[in-house]
Chain A
Amino acid sequence: MERSKGKIATREFIAIVILTIGAKMTDDTPAILYEKFSNAAWMAIIIIGIFSVIPIWLLINVFNTYKEKNLIEIVLYLLGKPFGYFVLFCLLVIGSVAITIDSSIYTDIVGTMYFTETPTIVLYAILMATCAFGAKRGLEQIGSFAWSILLWIKLSLFLALLLTFFQGKLDFIFPLFGRGVDEIMHGGISNLSICADFLFLTLIVPFAVNHAEFKKAIWISLCIVTVELAIALIAFVALFDYEPVKMLNYPFHEAIRYIRLEFLPNIEALFFPFWLLALFIRFSFYLYLIALLFGGLFKIKDFEYLIPSLATLFVLLGVIPENPTFSIFHFRDPFLKIVTPVFLLLPCLLWVMSKIKGDIKV
């Protein structure tokens, strides 16, 4: 397989972003948000979306100044060699931990909700093998696949949310401010890392067709993702109420097991395949990003060949915790908090450095 040198257009870019970040509503992210904000989780996600504008805006500004460079080159140029390498290495570690946690959560979802008898390692291996295969095909193929299935995935999701709304009660979103406005603002900012994927997305900037398009794509996808997550969070509360929803590990999957389509009960089989496809896109893309970062950091030119070995590594790391439902839950929450300052500060740092060097003119 050759390394894909093609560029991706705005629509492919938006498709990838929506599928990778939008998939968060189907894992345990809602559970974490409900735990903190009760029924006002939907407001918190909007706050998170709004505050994410700052780091993203700074990043875009920096990227506009250095049109020919990607994130790795920019970091090295602005922060100097030793410190720049250190920052990149931190990013690589964060990315690897994130992909390990996320993939083991998704394996846990499949294992607990659908395939209860199959050993975790088998599910994990199949998931990662598929994604490694997808990632190895290159960004262009991930992009076009994402675009081709985007409509169908969103349609099935829309149907699921619509049914959830109709079978729930909107009254459940009261008391409106959940645990209080303070809590929403505070908690919202400390959980900004839910949108930290955008930082990693800038790795693929050089693959974008042109910069103006890229800028537009980021803003559009940020809006769509925020609105989508907020709607999903309202829908789950409307169906389950704020107390029970906190106890569910994966509200989306409980919801599709509960809802019925008029005369059709058990319709989760209708949504499961689409969800799986979104899952494949998500992890193919993550694997690709990590390989890209790894390749950039260690100066490996044909970084696509790293993907299978990286995937194997993540599988092995992912099965270490004895039970994902406890250990990963406890691990993920502090992890989100640690990543937040990185997501906030790194763009600021880059911007300030670029300002000092006199490249950004405002």
Chain B
Amino acid sequence: MKKLLWILKSVIILLLLVMISGCWDQMEVDRKAYVVGIGLDKGKKEKINVTYLISNPEYASQQGGNTNEPATEIITFEANDLITSRNIANSVIAKEISYDMLSVIIVSKQLAKDKNFIRWMYDSTKDREIKRNTAFLVTKEKASSFIEQNEPKLETRPHKYFTLIFEHAGETGLIPRSDLMRYFRITEADGDLFLAALGTNQQTNQERSNGHLEAGEFKIKGKTNKTNLMGSAVFKEGRMIGELSGEETRLSLLLNDTVKSPNYTTTFQDPFNKDYDITAKIIKNKRNNVSMQQMNGKTILNIKVPLTLEVLTDHSMVNYAKNKEKRNQLKRYFTTKITEKLNKLVIKTQKDFKGQPFGWSLQGRKYFLTVDEYEKYDWMKSYPNMEVNMSVEIRFGEFGRQTDLPKIKQVRD
């Protein structure tokens, strides 16, 4: 009897070993094709063209993992949705398609502006492997050609490339933070506009003043990847309605407390010498103060934006560190300049987009006690008629590593 029990127990333990492999869900890395990026274009009728950017796990930048196979494989085909496309792709790709490593969904501008675009987006909430933190990118050209032309030189592994470029372009504020989660959250709450990163690898010949660049307008020479991410695509109710330039994206991030504010360097014309520019670093480490007021049936929004400014270089060599009077003058100049820019952006959003991408509806919610009241007020509809009072408060930070400059006249003596 005892022996029988012992045998029974060992059989059970052995059976448990089988379960460790995950039953039917066992997978082997080398039998899967990991899709890192999905490109979506408009197809015929109500179909879409799906492009898969498949990463090769055998390809590695470290020693020992080297292979003669290329880092990626790209296929494009027509499909009804993101879920059937997985099966269709297997008629070409030998390995099982997996979205486990999916890091970016790339959509062409043409499809994003389509009125049915949102229907395809919700496919991604149905699939079990697509996560909500997947990045979201809009391209000016077709997504398929964007993926094909994208040839990063130093970081050839595609998942790493997209993670890194989103991280660093995002840190400098040239592109907004855009992932599926924000897209769904903002679309469903229906109070704000969603900003998605905008990218292209076509160069345009348009000339613009510094900072107002959009993707493709930044001229680069040398041997490098043609892809550049700059500016943002504006989405209202899940559909793309416009674009913001790199500078406007940065400004919108200053007004937005729902994202981590970037610290970035930018240039202003020197108020003391029109020939030169001042390079300043704008740091935002305090939250904005947004308050709502009702007056004579009109809603007034008061927005206080606290900024810290660091003047990094001044080519006019005014020596601000030593001169209090000039420093104050400079502060006033910056305040009016930034306020002007912010106001211009607000007017653009009120007139062109009829909504705001700054997350202000969140602050506005505090003025309502119940969801019903808030929904009845309809923030999106009310916004274009609001009066927005912008006030910028600037504190000076450091004036570069070395604060003193020689007097230009003495040097030239």
Contacting residue for A118 out of B24, B132, B371, B374, CB 8 A: B24
Judge whether B372 is part of the interface by a CB distance below 8 angstroms: yes
Q: Are A243 and B188 in contact (CB under 8 A)?
A: yes
- The B interface is mostly helix, strand or loop, or mixed, namely helix
Q: Which of B178-207 contact A (CB under 8 A)?
A: 181, 184-185, 188-190
Q: Which of B16-30 contact A (CB under 8 A)?
A: 19, 22-25
Q: A326 to B123, alpha carbons, bound, how many Å?
A: 19
Q: Which of B359-384 contact A (CB under 8 A)?
A: 362-363, 365-366, 368-374
Q: Are A175 and B373 in contact (CB under 8 A)?
A: yes
Chain A proximity of B124: nearest CB distance (Å): 13
Q: Are B362 and A244 in contact (CB under 8 A)?
A: no
Q: Are B25 and A175 in contact (CB under 8 A)?
A: no
Judge whether B133 is part of the interface by a CB distance below 8 angstroms: yes
Chain A proximity of B346: nearest CB distance (Å): 20
Q: Mark B120-141, 1 if CB is under 8 A from A, else 0.
A: 0000010010011100000000
Specify the chain B residue showing the minimal Cβ separation from A184: B370
Judge whether B210 is part of the interface by a CB distance below 8 angstroms: no
Q: Are B370 and A179 in contact (CB under 8 A)?
A: yes
**Given contacts A112-B128, A116-B128, is CB(A175)–CB(B188) below 8 Å?**
no
Contacts of B373 in A (CB 8 A): 175
Q: Are B370 and A180 in contact (CB under 8 A)?
A: yes
Q: Are B371 and A115 in contact (CB under 8 A)?
A: no
Judge whether B116 is part of the interface by a CB distance below 8 angstroms: no
Q: A112 to B127, alpha carbons, bound, how many Å?
A: 10
Contacts of A116 in B (CB 8 A): 25, 128
Contacting residue for A171 out of B22, B125, B128, B363, CB 8 A: B363
Judge whether A29 is part of the interface by a CB distance below 8 angstroms: no
Contacts of B372 in A (CB 8 A): 179-180
Judge whether B258 is part of the interface by a CB distance below 8 angstroms: yes
Q: Mark B275-293, 1 if CB is under 8 A from A, else 0.
A: 0000000000000000000
Contacts of A258 in B (CB 8 A): 131-133, 181
Q: Are B23 and A118 in contact (CB under 8 A)?
A: yes
Judge whether A162 is part of the interface by a CB distance below 8 angstroms: no
Q: Are A260 and B133 in contact (CB under 8 A)?
A: yes
Q: A177 to B24, alpha carbons, bound, how many Å?
A: 46
Chain B proximity of A220: nearest CB distance (Å): 34
Specify the chain B residue showing the minimal Cβ separation from A169: B258
Q: Mark A225-248, 1 if CB is under 8 A from B, else 0.
A: 000000000000000111110010
Contacts of A77 in B (CB 8 A): none
Q: Are A178 and B189 in contact (CB under 8 A)?
A: no
Q: Are B24 and A176 in contact (CB under 8 A)?
A: no
Contacts of B368 in A (CB 8 A): 174-175
Q: Which of A164-186 contact B (CB under 8 A)?
A: 169, 171-172, 174-180
Q: Are A244 and B185 in contact (CB under 8 A)?
A: yes
Specify the chain B residue showing the minimal Cβ separation from A239: B181
Chain A proximity of B44: nearest CB distance (Å): 31
Specify the chain B residue showing the minimal Cβ separation from A122: B23
Judge whether A334 is part of the interface by a CB distance below 8 angstroms: no
Judge whether A257 is part of the interface by a CB distance below 8 angstroms: yes
Q: Which residues of A approach B to under 8 Å, CB–CB? A: 38-39, 112-119, 122, 126, 169, 171-172, 174-180, 240-244, 247, 254, 257-258, 260, 265-266
Q: List 12 A-B contacts (CB under 8 A).
A: A38-B371, A113-B128, A118-B24, A169-B258, A171-B257, A171-B366, A175-B365, A175-B366, A175-B370, A180-B370, A243-B189, A244-B184
With A179-B370, A244-B189 given, can you name 4 additional A-B contacts, CB distance below 8 Å?
Answer: A112-B128, A175-B366, A177-B369, A266-B131
A-B pairs, top 3 by smallest CB distance, nearest first, are A174-B365, A243-B188, A118-B24
Q: Which residues of B approach A to under 8 Å, CB–CB? A: 19, 22-25, 125, 128, 131-133, 181, 184-185, 188-190, 257-258, 362-363, 365-366, 368-374
